[in-house]
Every structure is written in C-alpha cells, then in structure tokens.
Structure 1
Amino acid sequence: MAATSIRDVAQHAGVSVGTVSNVLNRPGEVSAESIARVNAAIEELGYVRNDAARKLRAGTSTTVGFVVLDGQNPFFNDVVRGAEDEASKHNIAILYGNTDEDIARERLYLDLFEEQQVRGVLISPYDDVHTRLERLRQRGIPAVLVDRFSGDGRFSSVSVDSVSGGRMAVEHLIETGRRRIAFVGGPFDIHQVSDRLAGARAAAENSVTPVDLEVVATTALTVAEGVAAGKRIIERPRAQRPDALFAANDLVALGLLQAFVVEGRVLVPEEIAIIGFDDISFAGAAAVPLSSIRQPSGMLGRTALRTLLEEANDPESIPRQTVFQPELVVRRSTDPAKRR
C-alpha cells in the first residue's frame, strides 16, 4: 500500500497542498481552523512526515547552484546577475558553473551541487538533463530550466520565445528590402539555435515576396566563429553573397561585423545588413551599432530564482512555464536608408 502523501492530506482536509505545507512548516501563517482540519486529516490518514527529506526540500542550505551554457556570453552574465539580485533579498548565495557547451562539465557541476545539497539548481542545459534533474528532485533538490522551455512540463522553466524572435528578425530584414538572407549560427543541437532558425524559416516561407534563406553553419556561438563565417562570405563573388545576415546571437553578429570592417570589402548595412540576438551591452557600442532581438536577461534570472525558491518551500507545487516575448531593437546595421 502506498504511503500517504501530502496531497492525500490536502484532499481529505479540503484545503490546498500549500496550506498543508504551511501547517507543517509555517503554522503562524495559517488560520486556527485550517490547522485543526489538517491535523485531523493527518491523524485519520496516518500521515508521517519525512523530516530528513523535508529538510532537504525546505532548503537548510543558503546556496543555489546555477549552471550556464556559455559563461563567455554577456547575455548569461546578465541572467546570473538578475538571479543574484533576487537571491540577495533572501540571503542566498549563487554557486556558478560554466559548462562551455560541454556535456561532461555539465554533469560534473550537477554532481557537485548534489553533493553540496544546495537549496536548488538553475540550469541552462546543453544536454537532455531531465533524468538527471529528476534524481536531484528525488533528493529534495528542485531544479528550474533557464532560457529553455520545458516541453513536457516535468520541470518549471523560464525562457524567451526564440521561434518568435527568429521570425521577428527575418521579418524585419524583409521589410527593409532584403531578399537574400543567411542564418549564421550553430551547433543546431542547442535548442535556442534551432528554434531561432525555425522562426527565420517561417518568416521566409510566409513572405509575400520571394525570399531565399540559406544557412551558414558555425561550430560555436562565438566572435571567432562569426569572423570565420564572415571571411567565407567575403570569399564569394559579390553577386553570390547574401544581402542580409541573421546571426544566432550577438557574439556571432559582432564577429561578422569585425570580419567585414577589418577586410574593408563589405559595407554594413549598405551591402549586407546584420541583425543579432540577445541585445548584449556591446551591441549598441559596436563600430556599426548592431540591430538585435532583445531578451529580458535580468528578468529571466530574477524570475527563475523566485520560481526555484517557491518550489523549495512547497515541494508539492506543480511545475510552471514562464515564457517572455523578445523585442526588436533597430540600429544602424539594418538601416534601409543606408542601402546602396
């Protein structure tokens, strides 16, 4: 026979799971009537609280682990800073780990945070980590996906609609008169990259005017890979070059811009327009101010931390998905007035 759960107690007492949790952990926040009903249900059902598990779930630790996909990307620095700002309000410290898109490092940090019995884990995953996060949850350590939508709803997530952002970027390029557009980015097993490409393709396919969309693959989302892609584009005959580039993130876009400026053989936006994704602080300060799709990076971190603490305090809570909408930021790099 299965052990009585906190949900059973809530149903028997006619109250919410949260109310039962408050009676067990924070009785001062609950009315005397609710306390009486919950205690009566506990006695009738024979519910036994697992104090060891409760301590892990409630989070006696004052630390939260944060695993990010790419610590060199200023976008993730801003996300972590948002989480730190929220954590400081609760006297919690953030333990930070950068996987650098390496599965082995990702697993290493998750093992470390489990050993440290952190209050919870925030993670922007590279690999499919659901099985690993489920093990953490069984040990009373909740996890929240950051910058990644939880498709199956098993875990809470805080993300931005990257498909919408990709569509927004290419629609903007089309509106400025561009018809030969290249998506520059990779690897495509990073969900954000594949989602942005999917949005770009949808915009091209739905355009009322014919649009050619090609893919220029990179092995990483770095400035160096953007420079290399830019040099490959420069090597093409002028008539075979795209007239606009949608970079999977701002670092790749800045690399493309650097290649064009250093070589001096491509004018931006006169010959090729460029738009990035993230709107990091360097975007507006580039040699040619960069148009971008803005993500609310600080809000992502703050919301993720709040969601994690709510789950740590109420382990029976239902996972929820928070999805923010991106914003188009137009600067000189896509200015149609500058086009030749």
Structure 2
Amino acid sequence: MALDRSTDARQARVKLEDVAARAGVSAGTVSNALNHPDKVAPATRERVVRAIAELGFTPNGAASALASGSTKTVGLVVVDLMNSLFVDLARGAQRAARGLGYDLQLADSDNDLELEASHLDFLSAARVAGVLLAPMHTPHESIVKLRQRGSSIVMLNYESDTDQFCTVLIDNERAGYIAARHLIGLGRKRIAFVGGLHHLQPVALRRAGARRAVAEADGAVELIEIDTVDLNPPSGAIVGKRLVEQPESERPDAILAVTDLLAMAIISEFTAARLRVPEDVAVMGCDHNSAAWGGAVPLTSVTMRGREMGTIGVELLKREISEPAEVHLHQTVTLEPALVVRESTVGRG
C-alpha cells in the first residue's frame, strides 16, 4: 500500500492555533482541554476533540489523553539523586502517581541551575499535566512558562517566597535543632556545625536550628561553625584532617555535619588518625542519606521522610490539576523529622 505523504505533511503542519480556530475557542482553551480537561466544559471539550479529529492534530499523545478525559504524565525534577532523600522522594511519587493513573517522568538537575532550567523547559514543551519540583531556588522564568502552558506545580523540600504553590516540606530548622539537642543531651560542650552553601535553604535552616538549641543552653555550650566549599565527601575529608591536627584542648568534642556524606568523610579521617568516635569526638549527620550507611561506625542522623513527601506531593498535584484555578487553594504540608541514634554518638550497645 502506498504511503500518503501529502496527508502526513498536512497533519505535520497542523498547529494548536488551527485546532482553536476550527473549534471556535482560544488557544488557551485548547491547551486546558489537553492538559486540564476537568477545567473545560464538556460541550467545549467535545468541540475541541472533534476539531482534533478533523484536522489530524496529534500533540505527542495528548489527544488520546483528552479523549479519555484525563492527562497521563507528570514530571519530577530533583536536585541530586546521589542523596537518598530524593531517591525516596521519587519512589513515593512514582507509586502515588501510578495509583492515580499517571506516568512519572524523572529528571535530576545534579546541583546545576542551568540543567534544572533545561529540564523544566523540556517538561513545559512536553505539556505535562503537572510538575513536582525539588529545586535549589525558585526558578521563576521556567515556572512562568509552565504556568502559561497550563501545568500545575508543587514544590518539594523548598519553601517558596510566594504563595503561588502547594508545598511539601520537611522541617529543616527542627532537624538542626533536634540534632544539636541530642549532642547537648550527651554532655558535649563544643559542637562544630560543618557545612557550606548557606544560600541553600535546607542548609541555612539546619544551621538556624542548631544555633537555637545552643542558645537555649545559656552559654554552657559553644557552637563552632566550619564552612565547606560544597557538601561532598572531599570537603568533609578536608575538615576532618584540619580537626585532627588541632590540639585536643581546642578540638570540638562533637561534630554536627549538615549532611551525612560530610559526616562519614570526617569519621574516616578521625579513624585513620586513631581518634575514637564517639569517645573522643561524637559525630552525626543531618539528612539520613543511605549512601553514607556503609561506614565502619554506624551514623546517627535525622530522618527526612522522602517517600511521604513524594506521595503527598502527587496527591496535592492531582488535586490542583482536577480543580478549577479559581477554586483551588494552595496549601503547605510540613513533615516532622525524627532522630535516628546510632553508634557514632552513643557507642556500641
């Protein structure tokens, strides 16, 4: 059978605006019909479906989603899949999305702002129904594009400076607070808070929590803040070597690292120098990263509840997709962290 190339070419030239003109609606209404069918009146949606069929418009699978009355894809963009918080978050989101009939498209920005923007632009062009975003900051320009194309957005592990989003957070200030309180409760008097990149919201909040706990000790505990160039193990190793070289009288008796990877690198340097953990120096992390669980000394840390964050994020996104914009109310869900005590602060047994 001969291929009708003229028909293929004609269909390839059909644009969303052509569908809008045939259906007698705006391009925005066609976009909403494709991405948010619940927001479009049934009669209008039928006209759009009929126009799509007549013109042969195929918007990357969205037409079939429109015909069934629902969209089928949501995006998830995370900061760093090397951190098990975001792996857990992705697992929770994927399971919840599947249960609601959605496909989940995952992207890792690898701590790169330009890559994060590129992922968001791709999802915008793909006209996904919604996006779950665990960002480094609020990417305003990319979000504007997503909003213009009718995509809903939910923020994860980041509190935006606006009230335009539903948000799911872990209480990072509380995480830093309970971590420092744990060390203070063990009788530690000189606590080093190790971590850099204070422009990152979770880091700044954990530091604020540690400061609050030390302030409540009324001068009985000293907080020493040690900056690092990043949050990766080599930076922790540099700090560990520096602390090993200090006289015992000046060395902190406890380390609160803002991430578990920093903490484990510090423990490795202490162990190599025959400093005992926790007898000489107690060490703990603050983000319960499974990538740091393989060390010789099991690490005390704070849970981040990633799976719950992903699950709740999808549920909020589904609600926003389903509800008309003028009815939907954005909400913030804050999850409480919990201390996980292991050998690095209390010893064996």
TM-score where L is the length of structure 1:
0.80
Matched, 1:326 2:305: no
Q: How many Å separate the matches in 2 of 1:323 and 1:121?
A: 19
Considering only aligned residues, what root-mean-square deviation do their CA atoms show, in Å? 2.0
2:279 to 270, 276, 282: 270
Instruction: Tell me the equivalent position of 1:223.
Output: 233
Instruction: Tell me the equivalent position of 1:55.
Output: 34
Q: How many Å separate the matches in 1 of 2:75 and 2:35?
A: 14
For 1:242, what is the secondary structure of its paired residue? coil
1:212 to 198, 210, 222: 222
Instruction: Tell me the equivalent position of 2:180.
Output: 170
Residue type at the aligned position of 1:53: N
Matched, 1:292 2:271: no
Q: Is the 8 A contact 2:85 2:305 kept in 1?
A: no
Deviation at 1:156, TM superposition (A): 0.8
Q: Deviations over 1:248-296 (max 9, x none)?
A: 11121122122222x2332110111111122233555531111111111
Return the index of the structure with the highest Cα Rg. Answer: 2
Matches within 5 A, 1:86-101: 86-101=96-111
Mean alpha-carbon deviation: is it higher for 187-196 or for 81-90? Answer: 81-90
Residue type at the aligned position of 1:87: A
For 1:181, what is the secondary structure of its paired residue? strand
Deviation at 1:208, TM superposition (A): 3.8
For 1:220, what is the secondary structure of its paired residue? coil
Residue type at the aligned position of 2:35: L
Identity %: 34
Deviation at 1:186, TM superposition (A): 1.9
Matched, 1:201 2:180: no
1:304 to 313, 328, 331: 313
Q: How many Å separate the matches in 1 of 2:291 and 2:113?
A: 28
Task: Classify 1:300/1:268 alpha carbon distance in 2 versus 1 (closer, same or farther; 3 Å).
Answer: same
Q: Is the 8 A contact 2:80 2:110 kept in 1?
A: yes
1:237 to 240, 244, 247: 247
Residue type at the aligned position of 1:142: S
Q: How many Å separate the matches in 2 of 1:174 and 1:336?
A: 16
Matches within 5 A, 1:1-340: 50-58=29-37, 60=65, 61-261=71-271, 263-282=272-291, 285-316=294-325, 317-335=328-346
For 2:117, what is the secondary structure of its paired residue? helix
For 2:147, what is the secondary structure of its paired residue? helix
Deviation at 1:318, TM superposition (A): 1.2
Q: How many Å separate the matches in 2 of 1:91 and 1:179?
A: 53
Deviation at 1:335, TM superposition (A): 0.9
Deviation at 1:135, TM superposition (A): 3.2
Deviation at 1:238, TM superposition (A): 2.2
For structure 1, the 5+ residue unaligned runs are: 1-48
Q: Deviations over 1:96-135 (max 9, x none)?
A: 2211221111111111111111111111111322453233
For 1:122, what is the secondary structure of its paired residue? strand
Deviation at 1:151, TM superposition (A): 4.3
Q: Deviations over 1:16-55 (max 9, x none)?
A: xxxxxxxxxxxxxxxxxxxxxxxxxxxxxxxxx9343232
Q: How many Å separate the matches in 1 of 2:151 and 2:299?
A: 41
Q: How many Å separate the matches in 1 of 2:241 and 2:287?
A: 23
Deviation at 1:244, TM superposition (A): 0.6
Deviation at 1:324, TM superposition (A): 0.4
Q: Is the 8 A contact 1:184 1:215 kept in 2?
A: yes
For structure 2, the 5+ residue unaligned runs are: 1-27, 38-61, 66-70
